[in-house]
Protein backbone atom coordinates (compact mmCIF):
# COMPACT_ATOMS: atom_id res chain seq x y z
CA UNK A 1 0.00 0.00 0.00
CA UNK A 2 1.36 3.42 -0.87
CA UNK A 3 1.68 6.05 1.77
CA UNK A 4 -0.70 8.57 0.20
CA UNK A 5 -4.10 8.13 -1.33
CA UNK A 6 -4.06 7.59 -5.06
CA UNK A 7 -4.92 11.09 -6.38
CA UNK A 8 -2.20 12.67 -4.24
CA UNK A 9 0.33 9.98 -5.13
CA UNK A 10 -0.38 10.46 -8.84
CA UNK A 11 -0.10 14.22 -8.66
CA UNK A 12 3.12 14.10 -6.62
CA UNK A 13 4.57 11.79 -9.27
CA UNK A 14 3.81 14.41 -11.94
CA UNK A 15 5.43 17.21 -9.93
CA UNK A 16 8.40 14.94 -9.39
CA UNK A 17 9.14 15.06 -13.12
CA UNK A 18 9.62 18.81 -13.09
CA UNK A 19 13.22 20.06 -13.02
CA UNK A 20 14.71 20.39 -9.54
CA UNK A 21 11.78 18.77 -7.70
CA UNK A 22 12.58 15.97 -5.25
CA UNK A 23 10.20 13.49 -3.65
CA UNK A 24 9.44 15.56 -0.56
CA UNK A 25 8.86 18.78 -2.50
CA UNK A 26 6.61 16.94 -4.93
CA UNK A 27 4.42 15.73 -2.07
CA UNK A 28 4.29 19.20 -0.54
CA UNK A 29 3.27 20.60 -3.92
CA UNK A 30 0.55 17.98 -4.30
CA UNK A 31 -0.86 18.88 -0.89
CA UNK A 32 -0.71 22.58 -1.73
CA UNK A 33 -3.01 21.89 -4.68
CA UNK A 34 -5.58 20.54 -2.20
CA UNK A 35 -5.36 23.82 -0.33
CA UNK A 36 -6.13 25.83 -3.48
CA UNK A 37 -9.66 26.90 -4.30
CA UNK A 38 -11.24 24.72 -6.95
CA UNK A 39 -11.12 27.70 -9.29
CA UNK A 40 -7.37 28.09 -8.82
CA UNK A 41 -6.76 24.38 -9.29
CA UNK A 42 -8.80 24.48 -12.48
CA UNK A 43 -6.85 27.49 -13.77
CA UNK A 44 -3.57 25.73 -12.96
CA UNK A 45 -4.70 22.59 -14.74
CA UNK A 46 -5.74 24.59 -17.78
CA UNK A 47 -2.53 26.63 -17.86
CA UNK A 48 -0.53 23.44 -18.31
CA UNK A 49 -2.60 22.21 -21.19
CA UNK A 50 -2.78 25.67 -22.68
CA UNK A 51 1.01 26.17 -22.61
CA UNK A 52 1.53 22.77 -24.18
CA UNK A 53 -1.04 23.21 -26.93
CA UNK A 54 -0.80 26.93 -27.74
CA UNK A 55 2.96 27.34 -27.80
CA UNK A 56 4.57 26.46 -31.11
CA UNK A 57 7.64 27.35 -33.14
CA UNK A 58 7.84 30.50 -35.23
CA UNK A 59 7.61 29.40 -38.87
CA UNK A 60 10.60 31.58 -39.77
CA UNK A 61 13.13 31.37 -36.94
CA UNK A 62 11.91 28.50 -34.76
CA UNK A 63 11.54 30.69 -31.66
CA UNK A 64 8.62 29.97 -29.33
CA UNK A 65 5.41 31.81 -30.09
CA UNK A 66 1.67 31.51 -29.74
CA UNK A 67 1.16 33.04 -33.19
CA UNK A 68 2.40 32.20 -36.69
CA UNK A 69 5.50 34.40 -36.31
CA UNK A 70 7.36 35.16 -33.08
CA UNK A 71 7.43 38.67 -31.64
CA UNK A 72 10.95 39.31 -32.96
CA UNK A 73 10.14 38.26 -36.53
CA UNK A 74 6.95 40.35 -36.39
CA UNK A 75 8.84 43.45 -35.23
CA UNK A 76 9.42 45.70 -38.26
CA UNK A 77 12.09 47.65 -36.36
CA UNK A 78 14.59 44.76 -36.34
CA UNK A 79 17.69 44.63 -38.53
CA UNK A 80 16.94 41.90 -41.07
CA UNK A 81 20.52 41.69 -42.30
CA UNK A 82 21.71 40.11 -39.05
CA UNK A 83 20.81 36.68 -37.64
CA UNK A 84 21.90 35.38 -34.26
CA UNK A 85 21.91 31.57 -34.16
CA UNK A 86 21.06 30.17 -30.73
CA UNK A 87 20.45 26.73 -29.26
CA UNK A 88 16.97 27.31 -27.89
CA UNK A 89 14.25 29.86 -27.17
CA UNK A 90 15.56 30.52 -23.70
CA UNK A 91 18.70 31.93 -25.28
CA UNK A 92 16.55 34.32 -27.30
CA UNK A 93 15.06 35.56 -24.05
CA UNK A 94 18.56 36.01 -22.60
CA UNK A 95 19.64 38.11 -25.59
CA UNK A 96 16.43 40.13 -25.57
CA UNK A 97 17.00 40.94 -21.92
CA UNK A 98 20.23 42.72 -22.87
CA UNK A 99 18.29 44.98 -25.26
CA UNK A 100 21.46 45.68 -27.24
CA UNK A 101 20.90 43.26 -30.08
CA UNK A 102 18.49 44.46 -32.77
CA UNK A 103 18.82 41.69 -35.39
CA UNK A 104 16.82 38.52 -35.87
CA UNK A 105 17.34 35.02 -34.42
CA UNK A 106 17.47 31.47 -35.58
CA UNK A 107 16.72 28.78 -33.01
CA UNK A 108 18.53 25.52 -33.74
CA UNK A 109 16.55 23.42 -31.31
CA UNK A 110 19.68 21.88 -29.77
CA UNK A 111 23.34 21.21 -30.46
CA UNK A 112 25.15 18.37 -32.16
CA UNK A 113 25.71 15.75 -29.49
CA UNK A 114 26.67 12.18 -30.41
CA UNK A 115 26.23 11.18 -26.76
CA UNK A 116 22.58 12.25 -26.75
CA UNK A 117 22.08 11.03 -30.30
CA UNK A 118 21.56 14.51 -31.75
CA UNK A 119 22.99 14.89 -35.25
CA UNK A 120 23.09 17.86 -37.65
CA UNK A 121 19.86 16.70 -39.26
CA UNK A 122 18.03 17.16 -35.95
CA UNK A 123 18.80 20.88 -35.97
CA UNK A 124 16.99 23.49 -38.02
CA UNK A 125 19.92 24.16 -40.37
CA UNK A 126 17.90 23.71 -43.56
CA UNK A 127 15.58 26.56 -42.65
CA UNK A 128 18.64 28.67 -41.74
CA UNK A 129 20.23 28.12 -45.14
CA UNK A 130 16.91 28.96 -46.78
CA UNK A 131 16.82 32.27 -44.90
CA UNK A 132 20.31 33.09 -46.15
CA UNK A 133 19.55 32.31 -49.79
CA UNK A 134 17.93 35.60 -50.85
CA UNK A 135 20.91 37.85 -50.05
CA UNK A 136 19.28 39.98 -47.33
CA UNK A 137 21.42 38.60 -44.52
CA UNK A 138 24.98 39.94 -44.27
CA UNK A 139 26.11 38.34 -41.03
CA UNK A 140 25.31 35.33 -38.88
CA UNK A 141 26.41 35.46 -35.25
CA UNK A 142 26.72 31.88 -34.03
CA UNK A 143 25.85 32.11 -30.35
CA UNK A 144 25.76 28.46 -29.31
CA UNK A 145 27.04 27.87 -25.79
CA UNK A 146 30.81 27.89 -25.13
CA UNK A 147 30.78 24.13 -24.50
CA UNK A 148 32.38 21.36 -26.54
CA UNK A 149 29.04 20.58 -28.16
CA UNK A 150 28.28 24.25 -28.75
CA UNK A 151 31.69 24.74 -30.39
CA UNK A 152 31.26 21.69 -32.61
CA UNK A 153 27.88 22.97 -33.70
CA UNK A 154 29.26 26.47 -34.34
CA UNK A 155 32.04 24.97 -36.47
CA UNK A 156 29.55 22.90 -38.44
CA UNK A 157 27.27 25.85 -39.12
CA UNK A 158 30.09 28.19 -40.10
CA UNK A 159 31.18 25.64 -42.71
CA UNK A 160 27.64 25.34 -44.03
CA UNK A 161 27.40 29.10 -44.35
CA UNK A 162 30.79 29.96 -45.86
CA UNK A 163 29.95 28.93 -49.47
CA UNK A 164 27.07 31.44 -49.37
CA UNK A 165 29.36 34.43 -48.86
CA UNK A 166 27.64 35.39 -45.60
CA UNK A 167 29.91 36.47 -42.77
CA UNK A 168 29.84 34.04 -39.82
CA UNK A 169 30.93 35.37 -36.42
CA UNK A 170 31.18 33.95 -32.92
CA UNK A 171 30.68 35.70 -29.57
CA UNK A 172 33.89 36.96 -27.95
CA UNK A 173 35.40 34.86 -25.18
CA UNK A 174 36.92 36.55 -22.18
CA UNK A 175 36.65 37.31 -18.53
CA UNK A 176 33.17 38.29 -17.40
CA UNK A 177 32.74 42.00 -16.65
CA UNK A 178 32.71 42.70 -12.93
CA UNK A 179 34.21 39.32 -12.07
CA UNK A 180 37.47 38.69 -10.25
CA UNK A 181 40.41 37.42 -12.34
CA UNK A 182 41.26 35.12 -9.47
CA UNK A 183 38.18 33.05 -10.23
CA UNK A 184 38.61 32.86 -14.00
CA UNK A 185 39.46 29.38 -15.26
CA UNK A 186 42.59 28.85 -17.35
CA UNK A 187 40.84 28.28 -20.64
CA UNK A 188 38.80 31.45 -20.30
CA UNK A 189 41.86 33.43 -19.31
CA UNK A 190 43.83 32.10 -22.30
CA UNK A 191 40.97 33.05 -24.59
CA UNK A 192 40.85 36.50 -23.00
CA UNK A 193 44.57 36.97 -23.69
CA UNK A 194 44.25 35.73 -27.26
CA UNK A 195 41.37 38.10 -27.87
CA UNK A 196 42.98 41.12 -26.18
CA UNK A 197 42.29 44.53 -27.66
CA UNK A 198 44.32 47.70 -27.93
CA UNK A 199 43.24 50.51 -25.64
CA UNK A 200 42.72 53.59 -27.75
Among 23, 44, 131, 183, binds a second copy (CB under 8 A): 44
- Using CB under 8 A, which of 97, 99, 196, 197 touches a second copy? 97
The answer to the question of residue 118 lying near a second copy (CB under 8 A) is no
59 binds a second copy (CB under 8 A): no
Piece of 50-58, 125-133, 134-142, 180-188 that binds a second copy (CB under 8 A): 50-58
Task: Give the separation between CA 36 and CA 87, rounded to whole angstroms.
Answer: 37
**167-170, strands of its sheet edge to edge:** 103-107, 79-86, 139-142, 167-170
Task: List Cα–Cα distances, 143 to 25, 33, 91, 154, 196, in angstroms.
Answer: 35, 40, 9, 8, 20
Q: Indicate the burial class of 24 (C-beta count within 10 angstroms; 0-12, 13-18, 19 or more).
A: exposed
Among 62-70, 79-87, 124-132, 162-170, the segment contacting a second copy (CB under 8 A): 62-70
Chain residues binding a second copy by CB under 8 A are 1, 3-8, 10-11, 13-15, 17-21, 25, 28-34, 36, 38, 40-55, 64-66, 71, 89-90, 93, 96-97
Amino acid sequence: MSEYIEPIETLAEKFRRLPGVGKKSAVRMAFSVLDMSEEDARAFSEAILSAKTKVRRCSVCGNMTDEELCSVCRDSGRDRSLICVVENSRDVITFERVREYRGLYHVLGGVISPVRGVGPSDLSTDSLLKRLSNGTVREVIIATNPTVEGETTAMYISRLISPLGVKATRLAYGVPVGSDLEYADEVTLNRAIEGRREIK
